[in-house]
């Protein structure tokens, strides 16, 4: 089963410095029938104006993955971590028992990100932060695991959830496949381009909520970049 969520139909807000679209209920956008997809709680499509951002604010008991589509984001937190994550890179923050952080676009151009929140398997624990480059050339034509709570995914950024965040770039006509337990909750969003997923067309920034599919066959209808979450 694939439920298409067209980008134009997503909830959202325009704060001037921040233009946000919400795939699930978030902040002022509330829909009790759209509170997440399994352990996937938030998928925000954010555009952040130059020299603006989110001032320091708290989180706890959430795995927060930031996928940078364009530009760069600069992170600073209460543990003393500071880092700049640019397009093609991914950062992960395990909020654990509690952390404060800020996220700013210190670039001269708009930064565009996907911000993905996944509920952890267990609450609490020491908060952590990390970032890693994932060059698009290395994931051309194949799905690469970017963040994972599974020990076998040793090259991925670690998260505290039985989930994976994967990414790929596909040339027009290329196909990638992914197999998962039919009970898992999969969610796919093209950052750019358009793809066909098991016969369903998914355009740029649309969401596809997937259940009861043992295998995904993803075919690029044009040059495309996409992110896929596999959660409990």
Q: Which residue has the tokens 């609450």?
A: 123
Between strands 52-59 and 207-210, the pairing is: unpaired
Per-residue pLDDT of 96-133, as tens digits, reads: 999 999 999 999 999 999 999 999 999 999 999 999 99
pTM for this predicted structure: 0.97
Provide the domain limits for residue 67: 2-231
**Stretch 11-22: mean pLDDT:** 97
Residue 136 has pLDDT above 90, yes or no: no
Looking at residue 146, what is its pLDDT? 98
Choose among 144, 170, 169, 155: nearest CA to 69.
169
Looking at residue 61, what is its pLDDT? 98
Number of domains in the chain: 1
Here the CATH number for the domain that contains residue 54 is: 2.60.120.10
Between strands 215-220 and 194-197, the pairing is: antiparallel
**Stretch 36-54: mean pLDDT:** 98
Looking at residue 137, what is its pLDDT? 85
């Amino acid at each position: 089963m694939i439920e298409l969520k067209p980008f134009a139909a997503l909830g959202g807000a325009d704060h001037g410095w921040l233009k946000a679209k919400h795939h699930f209920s978030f902040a002022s956008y509330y829909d009790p029938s759209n509170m997440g997809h399994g352990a996937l709680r938030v998928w925000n499509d954010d555009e952040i104006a130059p020299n603006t951002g989110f001032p320091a604010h708290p989180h706890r008991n959430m795995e927060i993955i930031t996928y940078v589509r364009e530009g760069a984001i600069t992170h600073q937190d209460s543990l003393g971590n500071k880092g700049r994550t640019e397009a093609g890179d991914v950062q992960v923050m395990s909020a654990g028992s509690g952390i404060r952080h800020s996220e700013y676009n210190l670039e001269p151009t708009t930064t565009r990100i996907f911000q993905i929140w996944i509920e952890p398997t267990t609450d609490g624990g020491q908060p952590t932060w990390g970032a890693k480059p994932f060059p698009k050339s290395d994931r051309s034509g194949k799905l690469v695991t970017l963040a994972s709570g599974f020990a076998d995914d040793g090259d991925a950024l670690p998260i505290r959830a039985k989930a994976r965040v994967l990414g790929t770039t596909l040339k027009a006509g290329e196909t990638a496949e992914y197999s998962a337990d039919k009970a898992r909750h999969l969610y796919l969003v093209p950052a750019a381009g358009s793809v066909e997923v098991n016969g369903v067309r998914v355009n740029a920034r649309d969401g596809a909520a997937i259940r009861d599919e043992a295998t995904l066959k993803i075919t690029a209808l044009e040059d495309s970049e996409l992110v896929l979450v596999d959660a409990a």
